[in-house]
Structure 1
Amino acid sequence: MSNATATDHRWLMQYNIVNLVNQCRRLIRAEFDANLSLTDQALRQKLAHYAGRTRSQGLQRLYGEIRLALIELEGPDQLITPEEPLPVRFYRGQPVDAGEQRKTARPETSAQKNSKPLMYRGRAVAQS
């Protein structure tokens, strides 16, 4: 067994971390129907992957506790930047920024409210 492999799994020798990982594995198995092995070389990456995609606050909390325990054990993480940029979203053929869309949508609706009365079955209705 090489020295690099031994240091990669050193974090699994801590009882509290293994306990948290096993709880995460159970939640991942229940939600995603995926079995994670403790001997898998990419276990940390898979835990992070599923913790980022889950709707379960319990799994997110457990993964956060694992990260804190790993920071205490190994020191702070190195920042990992994604290699591919985030995809550009399009709406009707135009690129859309989610932040800009929220900012501009509000004033347009208030301007529309003031310009025309709201009609319902041929009668003007009070706007709230």
Structure 2
Amino acid sequence: MSTTATDHRWLMQYNIVNLVNQCRRLIRAEFDANLSLTDPELRHKLAHYAGRTRSQGMQRLYGEIRLALIELEGPDELITPEPTLPVRFYRGQPVEMNDERKKGKESTRNEPGTGKTLMYRGRAVVQH
């Protein structure tokens, strides 16, 4: 019970709650995700969305929250954002390039006699 009280102690500060509510609005607008103030994982979710956002305002707000938390509780462990793979685009649309497709391309190059079937002007063409 005492750990829950210390975990939510930071939400008793008016200035921090004000910043968190501003972050929640920005997260709702950008990611269409609703965060609850009563969620025990609220700090981790804020860090997650702050790491993924493209909004400088959101990053600035999260930085202010972190500074206020450091002043209140002292320094804590760094929460690093999840590593993301670069997204490739083709004609403005994101294209997924997973490991299976990469392996499949390499295997067709190494095996003689097998090729990739392509459609060209209505005809099936085998590419070696």
Same fold (TM over 0.5): yes
Partner of 1:48: 47
Shift of 1:74: 0.2
Partner of 1:23: 22
Distance 2:84 2:30 in 1: 26
Partner of 1:9: 8
Partner of 1:72: 71
SS at match of 1:24: helix
Shift of 1:78: 2.2
Distance 1:38 1:71 in 2: 19
- Residue deviations 1:78-115 (CA, integer Å, cap 9, x gap): 24579x9998xx9x88xxxxxxxxxxxxxxxxxxxxxx
TM-score normalised to the size of structure 1? 0.62
Partner amino acid for 1:68? L
TM-score normalised to the size of structure 2? 0.62
C-alpha RMSD of the superposition: 2.5
Higher share in helix: 1
Going from structure 1 to structure 2, the CA distance change for 1:79 and 1:48 (only over 3 Å counts) comes to closer
- Residue deviations 1:38-93 (CA, integer Å, cap 9, x gap): 000000000000000000000000000000000000001124579x9998xx9x88
Going from structure 1 to structure 2, the CA distance change for 1:69 and 1:30 (only over 3 Å counts) comes to same
SS at match of 2:29: helix
